[in-house]
Amino acid sequence: MSKLIWDRGRAGRRGFRVAKPQTPEVDLVAYLGNEHSQELLDLPEVSELDVVRHYTSLSHKNFSVDNNFYPLGSCTMKYNPKVNDAASQMSEFREVHPLAVDALQGSLEVMHITQEYLSKISGMDAVSLQPLAGAHGELTGLMIIQAYHRDRGSERDEVIVPDSAHGTNPASAAMCGFKVIEVKSKDGMVDIEELRQKVSDKTAALMITNPNTLGLFEKNICEIEKIVHDAGGLIYYDGANLNALMGIVRPGDMGVDVMHFNLHKTFSTPHGGGGPGSGPVGVKKHLEPYLPRPVVVKGEDGFKLDFDRPKSIGKVASFYGNFGVVLRAFVYMTVLGKCGLRKASELAVLNANYLKALLEDVLDVPYSEGTMHEFVATSKDTDLTALEIAKSLLDYGYHAPTVYFPLIVHEALMIEPTETESPETLEEFAETLKEILKNPERSKSAPHLMPIKRADEVKAARHPVLTRSQIAE
């Protein structure tokens, strides 16, 4: 068993020396009285080298984009350029306190330019960088929609969500107090007839992902837009799949009223083992008054934070967004520019179509016409489940695709290669998949070569052990 960091230590061992006190000691026992605690916390007591060895060893037990092809559908695991990291480490930005507003001109300028860039890429009129992740952007966007309708004295309380949507869509709508109305898919697209029946004077918005989670462009987008707008609803666009569209088509031109971006998908910022991400929100003019406060604006004497927004939904986070992430995305867009962004999307779509073609003999893709940046295959006609294929790939050094999503495809394998992979990588991956499918017996118990074999998830959920102290119990 790999040791926990506590197990590497000895009482009295230290990993970091705090500077010797230079100012008079406050007698906390006397000063704080009952609120004071003398109890020493049960935390690791380790040397710096203990810590370095421990976390370096853990890092070796982790797949990552820098080490492995990571065709995880819906997650856009593209390469994270190193210049972005270099930028985020610049002390000019890194050491500034967000409430030292007189020291922030440079950071505000980065935010303002990033807002403009995102606005140009999306065709939206205004952007707020405050939301801290994609789902947070969704929630913010829905709050904006709610505020807009409330402002017009309307009681619209339903949000329509396609059955192919990410789980965050219905969850965000419910969190915001909306009733979630599901609309089914037909031939992999939003069923127009059903949509027509489900819109009403209660419809606050439709949440749409385009390309949708099958990787297909909703080609009836213009009609969808008309149906929802005619009913008085708004269109919310989930930007999770924007990587297919940069420089090709803009959500703002498709009739979208409000959307979020995932800087950690489309704009190459790293996923950090689950975060931090960044989920800026873009809106059309009519929704601009409702954006979270403050808004970064350009004034005559520099950039400033505009708090005077009477119709704003308020603040959704402590400060102005995950600035360190925004900074990385800013550098990415600056380096790529117009041609680079478009090329990234073109090659993301080319790579997905190429990989789909390489696999066409062995894996069925139920909704195949018009694949954009990703596709959803099914393993139901093979000898293996999607899970078994996923686990087998790990043994070959490939991260697994997204499995069992979207829910409308059985035994789904959602594959998104991204533009940063070479055709050779895709060819080798396809060969490996064929190899796995040819030897189903070995694959059923995979993985064999990882630090652990398959983990007992049922036991983990039935008898939760969530901390070190619960191990002993």
Q: Which of residues 143-172 bind another protein (CB under 8 A)?
A: 143, 146, 166-168, 170-172
Q: Is 196 in the site for another protein (CB under 8 A)?
A: no
- Closest contact distance (angstroms) between CB of 232 and another protein is 20
Contact string 302-341 vs another protein (x = CB under 8 A): -----x-----xxxxxxxxxxxxx-x--xx--xxxxxxxx
Residue 224 contacts residue 195 (beta carbons within 8 Å): yes
Q: Is 222 in the site for another protein (CB under 8 A)?
A: yes
Give which of 172, 203, 209 is closest to 190, Cα–Cα: 209
Q: Is 136 in the site for another protein (CB under 8 A)?
A: yes
* Pairing label, strands 258-261, 281-283: antiparallel
- Closest contact distance (angstroms) between CB of 125 and another protein is 14
Q: Is 254 in the site for another protein (CB under 8 A)?
A: yes
- Token couple for 110: 């980065």
Contact string 54-73 vs another protein (x = CB under 8 A): xxx-xxxxxxxxxxx-x-x-
Q: Is 79 in the site for another protein (CB under 8 A)?
A: yes
Tell me which residues in 389-418 interact with another protein (CB under 8 A): 390-391, 394, 399-400, 405
Q: Is 28 in the site for another protein (CB under 8 A)?
A: yes
The amino acid at residue 134 is G
Q: Is 81 in the site for another protein (CB under 8 A)?
A: yes
Q: Is 457 in the site for another protein (CB under 8 A)?
A: yes
Q: Can you state the angle between helices 423-438 and 386-395, rounded to 10 degrees?
A: 120
- Token couple for 125: 């009129």
Give which of 177, 188, 230, 181 is closest to 212, Cα–Cα: 188
Residue 103, CB-side half-sphere exposure with 13 Å CA sphere: 10
Cβ-based neighbours of 358, under 8 Å, separated by 6 or more: 426, 427, 430
Q: Is 133 in the site for another protein (CB under 8 A)?
A: yes
Select from 421, 436, 437, 443 the one that contacts another protein (CB under 8 A): 421
Terminal-to-terminal C-alpha distance of the chain: 18
- Closest contact distance (angstroms) between CB of 82 and another protein is 9
- Closest contact distance (angstroms) between CB of 450 and another protein is 4
Q: Is 297 in the site for another protein (CB under 8 A)?
A: no
- Closest contact distance (angstroms) between CB of 472 and another protein is 11
Stretch that binds another protein, among 175-183, 197-205, 281-289, 376-384 (CB under 8 A): 175-183
Q: Is 52 in the site for another protein (CB under 8 A)?
A: yes
Contact string 422-451 vs another protein (x = CB under 8 A): xx---------------------x-x--xx
| Euclidean distance between CA atoms 389 and 373, whole angstroms | 21
Tell me which residues in 341-360 interact with another protein (CB under 8 A): 341-344, 346-347, 349-350, 353-354, 357-358
| Euclidean distance between CA atoms 235 and 231, whole angstroms | 11
| Euclidean distance between CA atoms 406 and 408, whole angstroms | 6
Give the angle subtended at the CA of 266 by the CAs of 260 and 272, to the nearest 5°: 95
Starting at the edge strand that comes first in sequence, how are the strands of the sheet with 402-403 ordered? 375-378, 412-415, 402-403
